[in-house]
Amino acid sequence: MEEKKLYPFRLTRIEDKYSWGSEQFRLADLGYRDTFVLDGWLSGNTMGDMMETYLDRVTGDHIFDAYGVQFPFQIRKIQVAGKMPLRVSPDDEMARDRYDHLGKEKLWYVLQAGKGSRLLIGFRRDTDASELYSECLEGNPENLMNTLEPRAGQFFFIPSGTPHCAFGEMSIVEVSESSAMDFCLCNWGSPEGLSEEFDPSLNIIDALDFIKYERYPEKLLAGRNLNDGETSAEDAALGFETLLKIKQFTVNKINLKQPIGIDTDRFGSCIAYTSLKGSFEIQTTPEVSPDSERLLAVTEGETALIPAECSNFIIAPRTADTVLLEVMVEKLPADDETFYPSGDGGEDLVGDGAEDLG
């Protein structure tokens, strides 16, 4: 019997509400939060099920060799309506050694920001563990941090070890590694909802030795492209812009004005698309999918995944001014030593976290 081919599919959205707002998982393989397939004969399978059953057919050979059955990245929408607790995440090496997990490099893309909304990202001057601990206990870590007034369309790379949070009325799309490694540093004097959002063991005491206390690089506060020259002239002409390219994942923004053909063999990776604005469709060939699964419509706010096995497909706008985020894990040079957690992938390789963009 011929093996059924995998095809593009949409994923459910899972929302958790807190006193400061909410987070909506749009693609997740975390165990405690696991989005599942909405379309076709795979409908009802979680991302965990997909990885356990279809392995490298979902992610691609180089990703599966490294991560095994752990899907490598996640996508969330964060809706802020108040003061988000100040948080920080470890790098891959620290997360592996202590927790046998991935660390958490992040990209925040600002969808909407109300008047007076603020982002706190990194320290405005060099500090140390003692000073930070004291300010957090008193509920005043703002005194140490960079404060930004974000605008819709800005995006920020938040490396591991960087304290960060958001205040006010704001919508953010977060792309990060598949990890729950957010540590709470300060909840602004309010314990409400804290136990639901954070594991009690992920607290300030355990975070003090991996926080980056030096002044945060000014370049990372610009809210604009950090990878000059990463977007080729050909891709730029098609509406592509590379927002972030690190070892853990690549994020591109696409102003989708015309149908675009994409070959996953070029990247060797599964590809996720999240609609920031408008709706679009994904078209595959008969060789990839049967007639019933050749066209997938994706509406604003939805996320779709193209398994690596789908080697050719077309994305096309269904509405004017359609804007997408594209996420993948690109192939690394043979001599590039990247970290993956022991037990989850092929070899246990250790390297630095994200590349230094400062």
Task: Map residue 164 onto helix, strand or coil.
Answer: strand
Amino acid at residue number 236: A
Tokens representing 81 are 């309506």
Mean pLDDT of the chain: 88
Shared domain check, 202 and 244: no
Tokens encoding 160: 């591991």
d(CA 307, CA 8): 6
Compute the average pLDDT of residues 28-44. Answer: 96
288 phi and psi, to 5 degrees?
-90, -45
CA 296 to chain centre: 23
Give me the domain span that covers residue 308: 233-328
3-state secondary structure of 55: coil
Domain membership of residue 17 (yes or no) is no
Q: Do 124 and 193 lie in a common domain?
A: yes
- In this prediction, residue 112 carries a pLDDT of 97
What are 342's two structure tokens? 């022991």
pLDDT digits (tens, 9 = 90+) for 62-94: 999 999 999 999 999 999 999 999 999 999 999
Are 119 and 250 part of one and the same domain? Answer: no
Say if 356 falls within a structural domain.
no
Please check whether residues 194 and 297 belong to one and the same domain. Answer: no
Q: Decide if 1 is inside a domain.
A: no
Q: Is the pLDDT of residue 344 over 50?
A: no
Provide the percentage of residues in the chain whose pLDDT is more than 70. 86
Cβ-contact 311, 207 below 8 angstroms: no
Assigned domain for 129 exists: yes
Domain boundary among 197, 221, 245: 221
Mapping DSSP to helix (H, G, I), strand (E, B) and coil, where does residue 145 land? strand
Tokens of 145: 């941090």
Q: How many CB atoms lie within 10 A of CB 45?
A: 17
pTM of the complete model beyond 0.85: yes
pLDDT of residue 357: 30
pLDDT digits (tens, 9 = 90+) for 150-182: 999 999 999 999 999 999 999 999 999 999 999
pLDDT-derived band at 321 (thresholds 50, 70, 90) equals very high
pLDDT of res. 199: 87
**Residues 193 and 299 placed together within one structural domain of the fold:** no
Q: What is the pLDDT of residue 334?
A: 56
Whether residue 191 contacts residue 203, with contact meaning beta carbons closer than 8 Å, is answered with no
Mean pLDDT confidence for 92-119: 96
Q: Which tokens hold the place of 174?
A: 């977060």
Q: Can you give the pLDDT at residue 358?
A: 28
Q: DSSP label at 195?
A: H
**Domain boundary pick from 158, 189, 221:** 221
Among residues 180, 183, 212, which one has the least CA distance to residue 341?
180
Residue 264 lies inside a defined structural domain of this protein: yes
pLDDT at 335 over 80: no
The answer to whether residues 302 and 252 belong to one domain is yes
Number of domains in the chain: 2
Secondary structure class of 46 (helix, strand, coil): strand
Contact 88, 211 (CB under 8 A): yes
- Domain shared by 79 and 217, yes or no: yes
What's the average model confidence in pLDDT over 293-299? 86
Residue 210 and residue 167 share a domain: yes
User: Which pair of structure tokens corresponds to residue 169?
Assistant: 């009325």
Q: What is the mean pLDDT of residues 289-308?
A: 84
> Same structural domain for residues 162 and 241?
no
Confidence at residue 2, expressed as pLDDT on a 0 to 100 scale: 59
- Say yes or no: 200 and 255 in one domain: no
Asked if 333 and 355 touch (Cβ cutoff 8 Å), the reply is no
pLDDT of residue 312: 86
* Burial degree of 213 (CB within 10 A; 0-12, 13-18, 19+): middle
What was the pLDDT predicted at 288? 53
* Cα 171–Cα 319–Cα 5 angle in degrees, nearest 5: 90
Higher pLDDT, 341 or 284: 284
Q: How confident is the model at residue 192 (pLDDT cuts 50, 70, 90)?
A: low
Residues 192 and 265 occupy one common structural domain: no
- Same domain for 242 and 114? no
Contact of 62 with 54, CB cutoff 8 Å: no
Q: Please report whether residue 179 resides in a domain.
A: yes
Domain of residue 194, CATH code: 2.60.120.10
Residue 339, pLDDT above cutoff 60: no
